[in-house]
Structure 1
Amino acid sequence: MSKSTFFWITAILVFLTGSGLWLWNRFGPSTGRDYPQKVEAYPVAKTIDSSSSACDLVVRRYKQIGNEMQFELAANAGGLSPYNVEIAQKGKIYQFKEVPHRFGIWLSIMPLSLETGPATIKITSLGQPGCETSASFEFDTNKKVEILDPQSWIRQGSKDNWLDVRPVMVNGKLHLKDFGNYDDGRTKVVMIDGIEVKGLESGIEVKPGFLYSITARWIDAPYNDWWNKMRNRSLRQQNIWISGKPGAKEDTKLTRVEIPQWFSPSRTINVDFDTKFPEFEPIKGKMVMQYRLNDYVPTENYYKRGINYLSGGKDTPAPRMHYTVTPNYFADRDEKWFSSLSQSEVETWAGVPNFGVYALDFEFWNQHYIPEVKQRLIWFAKRIRKNNPDMYLLDYWGGGAYTNPHINTMGGKNPKELMGDYNDPKSNNSNFEPLPNGESFQDLFNTTPIDVYPKPMFVMDDKGNTPNNFVLLSAIHSLRINKLIPYQKNNKFIFYGWNRYMPLYHDPIVPWNFQLTEPKGELVMNQLEMMPASQALSMSLFSLILFDGYYLWHDSGPSSNDPNAYNVGADASPWGNEWYPADGKTPKTEIGKKPRKRDAPYYWDYPTEFYSLGNWMAKQVEDVIVGGTNQDLAIQLDGNWVQPKKEQVLLAIDKKEPFVTSIVKGNQIVVLGVDSFQSPTANRVVKVKLPDGSETSIELYGNWPSLYRGTLK
């Protein structure tokens, strides 16, 4: 072998080895790596005395949040909590008894009325006699933080060192600030309502009267590698409602239909729209399908809050119910079994009650039905329609004639490719193609759903937008095309939604915090990521004002109002849970021991509250939206008027612009607008041209919908 050949072989081997190592480090598994928090920026406590070498309890660092002090503890033993804590300064002593503490958070002591200068803390373990420590720290009254009164805001979700967002006043203006500011060296992305924000650790100005969903994600790779389940990823979510009026009166000819002052999401884990909302009849001709969520609230309460069809009610007649039929109706049998059934056997299965709404959701089967399955579903649907002529029948899993192409500008369907659909509307769903014998779904389903489930909050573009920001406008486009397909012209057109994001990439789970009283302690249960409240309100309003309503699916039955009624046994959720008893010793088996018929809710379902709010707000313009005509409006951007076109919603997606539409009935108009792409805390005044030629303006805050009504010339 010549020297040159040996050199080139060696060079190639070195290159391949180096490339392999780079690929392994870049994309290979790292879930087992440890990324400790960077705490160097926090002041160090000075140990005065640590009398027990058996536990080596010590205060390492501390931080001050207004009149609250947080201390980082370390020890070589477990089971030390709870603690008795004594803080002293200039002869004054403040005592705190049986303070609970757990791994993963700093010990919090509040409220403290200290002066600027040194103070001492003494911590005595109640879990291990003789284990105690004392240290000195500095307190600074100039670091006073004007955190809002707890009665004016609600926060639920995760609760640890990783994310600690609170509303504060800075120079008379409301801000959200992350006092956690957790940094462990990994890539960190913080979002409000699904759009990236910067500087939350310093404070971001916001408006009262809204709910902000804050997520923080960490990954030891670029953020857009979030799909890679082998990387080390973490997720936290906190959802914060701040009461109060949003701001000054607008300069507009229209009248805003505001979020009413009586509204707020529930302070408990149970929803309360079913008792707190004023009573109102469903909007004429619209469909609102929700679930009974509280077993202690009468079924009739839901029907008196604008709901047409309910699931989970007590003694509810079938015509007032909606029902989603899943594969377990067929005992989870597969397509092969279903394809083997005769027509008479299929029709036997079609003997269902006369529900008001019946939705097919055979999600374990191929979404594009093979001919044998399609034929039998046609037999199934025909028999149901024949037996129940007044039933609304839809296929959520198989979809309507034109399924949602999930348009976005980050690798999804390109909106420019779909603009011709308005001139030549036709099905994009093979399920609606006739069989060789001429039979099809075209004249069977009288309700057309569009999927508006929340989408992943990555890939993220340079503006901080993700695919989830496009869901609303993509759904509007999809239903508009469905309405143009002749054999669906008499159908009902609805959004079919859910309140949470279903992980598609083995995403990490949100650790949700619950404070129990019997037994006393902190229960952390892993849950799915919640959708933004702004998105829930948008889905509700646009579905009811432009179309025929919504079907809000739910993944659990009615809940009890016992805040301790949780199942943490062997048959509990496979996502896992952690138990931190206040006394440091009560076993997890004591949780949920009281006899009960129902569990407590496993998450704060604020999206359902905002869907219900949208229903109430749409009711305020019922006189216009029922029988009115939809017309998109011209808007002024950068000094130029943008005239609406048939494909206006696609243009708004393509250019990431506001979308403003209206319903006109006689001389009355309802205007509905949204900016799905701007910063979640931005406030945009948009000039609009009304159908009578007059000009006015509307205000779009963050990604929240804005609803107005007015009178034309």
Structure 2
Amino acid sequence: MTHKKKVLTKTSLLWLGGIFAFLIGSGLWAWNRFGPSGHKTYVQVTEGFPLARTLDSASHACDLVIRRYRQVGREMQFELAANAGGLSPYDVSITQNGKTQTFRAIPHRYGTWLTVPDVDIAGGEAQISVSSLGQQGCRTTAAFNFEASLANEVVDPREWIRQGSKDNWLDVRPVRKDGKLYLRDFANYNDNRTKVVMIDGIAVQGLENGIEIKPGYLYSVTARWIDAPYNDWWNAAKNRTVRQQNIWIAGKPEQSGANALTRIPIPDWFSPSRGINVDFDTKFPEFEPIKDKLVMQYRLNNYVPSENYYKRGIRYLSNTEKEFPPEKLHYTATPNYFGDKDEKWFAGLSQEQVEALAGIPGFGVYAYDFEFWSQHYPKEVIQRLIWFSRVIKKNHPHMYLMDYWGGGAYTNPHINTVGGANPKDFIKDYSEPKSNNPNFDPLPNGDSFRDIFNTVPIDVYPKPMFAVDNAGNSPNNFVLLSAIHSLRINRLLPYQKNNKFIFYGWNRYMPLYKDPIVPWNYQLTDPKGELIMNQLEMMPASQALSFSLFSLILFDGYYLWHDGGPSAQNPNAYKLSKDMWGWGYEWYPADGKTPETEVGRNTSGGTAAPYWDFPTEYYVLGNWMAKQVEDVLTGGTNQDLAFQLDGQWIQPKKEQALLAIDGKQPFVTSIVKGNLIVVLAVDSFQQPSALRKMKIRLPDGVETEIELYGNWPSLYRGTLKK
């Protein structure tokens, strides 16, 4: 009998069957993880990686050999193949010119190459000996070449953070070359499917060679593969794969020289947390919420006092914080408020029955999220929600009341040019503002939501990262500007003029097309090993900071949804279960034998954070940055500014957000109070590593220059001439 060689870098590792589901509010929402029930196994195209030269393979029982290798700084990775499993971990020795460096019990799993860190040898040929601790006598020796010129190109790991996927498919690290900083994908995985790589949601080319970047920023790198043209991603019958790595690089970005404005930069003390738990709730300096602004968040760490959040710019926490009075809390009413009963049941209730259901505490903020109904309510539902709401308003006149699920009077149309819409079709809304939501049409008896809600939410959930146009832009690039347009129209509706206007956001992309899930890597220490759990794509940090800043500078704040309870400090506290809402997972013990039942053996303090929530940290950063210009925001007025583009001055119009969408232009706006000005600008469409230096004209006629990097927002303040 012949044996087919088993390659230990099996790329189909994470294609598990079944569905993935997660809890939003109280409803279980699920989708297929991979599309087709039967899939093709793709094999990496490995041309370009040097071949190792086998010197000795002592055991024909396992036929262990080293096929290829690659060098990542001082880290060496080796592709192993064998006719047996259960060989990991390995003892490794590397010898050169009579000197031997030894590495004990190196773990290894499918989906990676055997990784030997911090190899300390000179340039030239060396020998590696690999001995299995899982099968006695299974060993191999091979020769490889070490490039001394590459040894120090990867930035010191103490200077950067990376979390997300970790396998053969994507391996992005910062490198320095000739005094410049680059992001480079050392994996360069290719299996002859269509491959699209994005940084911060914009398609890029050449990541395998390196793309120049700046320190002080966080980059979300997402790679996708599909056995069809990329714009067919909606088709669940196609074989699709996703990987994402989120990378922050320490350092201070260069700032432009002095001019009429002073930049409010990302402060030197800021960095996202190195661990899986956020740390803004202890690391940020204390600051009071911005006057008259609403900021609604959730406590994320169960070991940090709730008071820490109130002392860091957050006005309302979730109603789960029972030690505080309800007026300091926000509550989102999900379908379980009505016992998950359907629309037909609700429509059949009498007024007396409906009003009896409206006995809620006096929360600071109350949002409807009755997601089991159509977003366009039947008249019978509208009438009963009005009865329901009037009792709440009567009992709690100071409560901020809104309908997230049903939307504002003018619902965000999510305008984008990729989807074929013409942004100019919406210009008429500025001269003829009216509701585009039938929920706000008066009933025959005159009852209406128009005099019910005093808060208008516009959702800024991240949108699909496809289709893309020739510039690499996807519908996600248009979310911010469409939201600005939507809230501006809502403000023009007379019955809403005294309302609060907010962004309603979430930190991840909600799959819409049975999208595959991102395998997320967790390095556990007790027991030691790698845990892989499937997660959603994280939104770019640049977008989170933009949403926060624009919501607070132009409008009245934000509500940042979170779909889990506070997490424990123990990074090993993951309690695995076969029925954990369909979340797929895999466990790879470092010793090759510790069973998965040992994972999470100490969860007495609660469970660990499910993912690295850096977007929330950037939302809070935007809150802190806006706080630095609070004196101008309080009582200031909004005014969009003229800017120069391709040598031509663009004069702002009332529909400027739409014009920016249509022309894929930067958007420059300001708040003016007396002779003080705050300028906020963004380019939602330029490449993530592009730097635009742009002239703008202030209201006093002074021309000055601002910088726009990638899709990151830029915030300035200054003094106008009298």
- TM-score of Structure 1 vs Structure 2, range by shorter chain: over 0.9
Matched, 1:484 2:492: yes
Q: CA deviation at 1:682?
A: 0.3
User: Letter of the aligned partner of 2:376 in structure 1?
Assistant: H
Matches within 5 A, 1:132-151: 132-151=139-158
Q: Which moved more, 1:459-468 or 1:343-352?
A: 343-352
CA distance in 2, matches of 1:89, 1:491: 73
Matched, 1:647 2:655: yes
Give the secondary-structure state (helix, strand or coil) at the position aligned to 1:49: strand
Q: State the match for 1:119 in structure 2.
A: 126
Q: CA deviation at 1:132?
A: 1.2
Give the secondary-structure state (helix, strand or coil) at the position aligned to 1:146: coil
User: Letter of the aligned partner of 1:159 in structure 2?
Assistant: K
Q: State the match for 1:340 in structure 2.
A: 348
Give the secondary-structure state (helix, strand or coil) at the position aligned to 1:291: coil
C-alpha contact (below 8 Å) 1:31/1:233 kept by paired residues: no
Q: CA deviation at 1:139?
A: 1.8
Matched, 1:244 2:251: yes
CA distance in 1, matches of 2:252, 2:124: 39
Matched, 1:705 2:713: yes
Q: CA deviation at 1:142?
A: 2.8
Give the secondary-structure state (helix, strand or coil) at the position aligned to 1:481: helix
Give the secondary-structure state (helix, strand or coil) at the position aligned to 2:297: strand
Q: State the match for 2:300 in structure 1.
A: 293
Give the secondary-structure state (helix, strand or coil) at the position aligned to 1:522: strand
Distance 1:573 1:87, change over 3 A: farther
Matched, 1:428 2:436: yes
- For residues 478-511 of structure 1, give each alpha carbon's deviation from its aligned partner in whole angstroms, at most 9, with x where no partner exists: 0000000000000000000000000000111000
C-alpha contact (below 8 Å) 1:454/1:498 kept by paired residues: yes
Equivalent of 1:580, from 565, 588, 592?
Answer: 588
Equivalent of 1:443, from 439, 451, 471?
Answer: 451
Q: State the match for 2:560 in structure 1.
A: 552
CA distance in 2, matches of 1:612, 1:30: 42
Give the secondary-structure state (helix, strand or coil) at the position aligned to 1:62: strand
Give the secondary-structure state (helix, strand or coil) at the position aligned to 1:88: strand
User: Letter of the aligned partner of 2:600 in structure 1?
Assistant: G
Matched, 1:664 2:672: yes
- After TM superposition, the runs of 4+ consecutive aligned structure 1 residues lying more than 3 A away are 28-31
Give the secondary-structure state (helix, strand or coil) at the position aligned to 1:651: helix
Q: CA deviation at 1:40?
A: 2.3
CA distance in 1, matches of 2:427, 2:709: 28
User: Letter of the aligned partner of 1:457 in structure 2?
Assistant: M
User: Letter of the aligned partner of 1:347 in structure 2?
Assistant: E
Q: State the match for 1:538 in structure 2.
A: 546
Q: CA deviation at 1:116?
A: 2.5
Give the secondary-structure state (helix, strand or coil) at the position aligned to 2:307: helix
Q: CA deviation at 1:144?
A: 3.0
Percent identical residues: 71
Q: CA RMSD in A?
A: 1.2
Give the secondary-structure state (helix, strand or coil) at the position aligned to 2:519: strand
Give the secondary-structure state (helix, strand or coil) at the position aligned to 1:469: helix
When normalised by structure 1's length, the TM-score is: 0.95
Q: State the match for 1:462 in structure 2.
A: 470
Q: CA deviation at 1:143?
A: 3.1
Q: CA deviation at 1:573?
A: 3.9
Matched, 1:281 2:284: no
Q: CA deviation at 1:313?
A: 2.5
Q: State the match for 1:173 in structure 2.
A: 180
Distance 1:564 1:314, change over 3 A: farther
CA distance in 1, matches of 2:277, 2:659: 40
CA distance in 1, matches of 2:238, 2:274: 36
Q: CA deviation at 1:140?
A: 2.2
The unaligned stretches of length 5 or more in structure 2 are 1-34
Q: State the match for 1:372 in structure 2.
A: 380
User: Letter of the aligned partner of 1:660 in structure 2?
Assistant: V
Q: State the match for 1:49 in structure 2.
A: 56
Equivalent of 1:255, from 253, 258, 262?
Answer: 262
Q: CA deviation at 1:248?
A: 4.0
Matches within 5 A, 1:151-166: 151-166=158-173
Equivalent of 2:235, from 219, 228, 238?
Answer: 228
C-alpha contact (below 8 Å) 1:30/1:232 kept by paired residues: no
User: Letter of the aligned partner of 2:213 in structure 1?
Assistant: V
Q: CA deviation at 1:314?
A: 4.6
C-alpha contact (below 8 Å) 2:523/2:531 kept by paired residues: yes
Matched, 1:630 2:638: yes
Q: State the match for 1:216 in structure 2.
A: 223
Q: CA deviation at 1:367?
A: 0.6
CA distance in 2, matches of 1:315, 1:363: 29
C-alpha contact (below 8 Å) 1:65/1:145 kept by paired residues: no
When normalised by structure 2's length, the TM-score is: 0.94
Matched, 1:676 2:665: no
Give the secondary-structure state (helix, strand or coil) at the position aligned to 2:478: helix
CA distance in 1, matches of 2:519, 2:458: 31
Matched, 1:315 2:285: no
Q: CA deviation at 1:595?
A: 4.1
C-alpha contact (below 8 Å) 1:629/1:665 kept by paired residues: yes
Q: CA deviation at 1:66?
A: 2.2
CA distance in 1, matches of 2:184, 2:281: 32
Give the secondary-structure state (helix, strand or coil) at the position aligned to 2:267: coil
C-alpha contact (below 8 Å) 2:465/2:474 kept by paired residues: yes
CA distance in 1, matches of 2:618, 2:225: 29
CA distance in 2, matches of 1:313, 1:681: 41
Q: State the match for 1:500 in structure 2.
A: 508
Matches within 5 A, 1:7-18: none
Equivalent of 1:606, from 587, 605, 614?
Answer: 614
Give the secondary-structure state (helix, strand or coil) at the position aligned to 1:442: helix
Q: CA deviation at 1:29?
A: 5.5
C-alpha contact (below 8 Å) 1:545/1:625 kept by paired residues: yes
Q: CA deviation at 1:310?
A: 0.4
* Structure number with bigger Rg: 1
User: Letter of the aligned partner of 1:388 in structure 2?
Assistant: H
Q: State the match for 2:396 in structure 1.
A: 388
Q: CA deviation at 1:226?
A: 0.6
Q: State the match for 1:20 in structure 2.
A: none
CA distance in 1, matches of 2:151, 2:118: 12
User: Letter of the aligned partner of 2:394 in structure 1?
Assistant: K
- For residues 338-365 of structure 1, give each alpha carbon's deviation from its aligned partner in whole angstroms, at most 9, with x where no partner exists: 1111111111111011110000001111
Q: Which moved more, 1:602-611 or 1:589-598?
A: 589-598
Q: State the match for 2:22 in structure 1.
A: none
CA distance in 2, matches of 1:639, 1:518: 60
Give the secondary-structure state (helix, strand or coil) at the position aligned to 2:292: coil
User: Letter of the aligned partner of 2:56 in structure 1?
Assistant: D
CA distance in 2, matches of 1:30, 1:136: 42
- For residues 494-544 of structure 1, give each alpha carbon's deviation from its aligned partner in whole angstroms, at most 9, with x where no partner exists: 000000000000111000000001111000000000000000000000000
Matches within 5 A, 1:677-692: 677-692=685-700
Give the secondary-structure state (helix, strand or coil) at the position aligned to 2:621: helix
Q: State the match for 2:365 in structure 1.
A: 357
The unaligned stretches of length 5 or more in structure 1 are 1-27
Q: CA deviation at 1:252?
A: 2.5
CA distance in 1, matches of 2:342, 2:37: 37
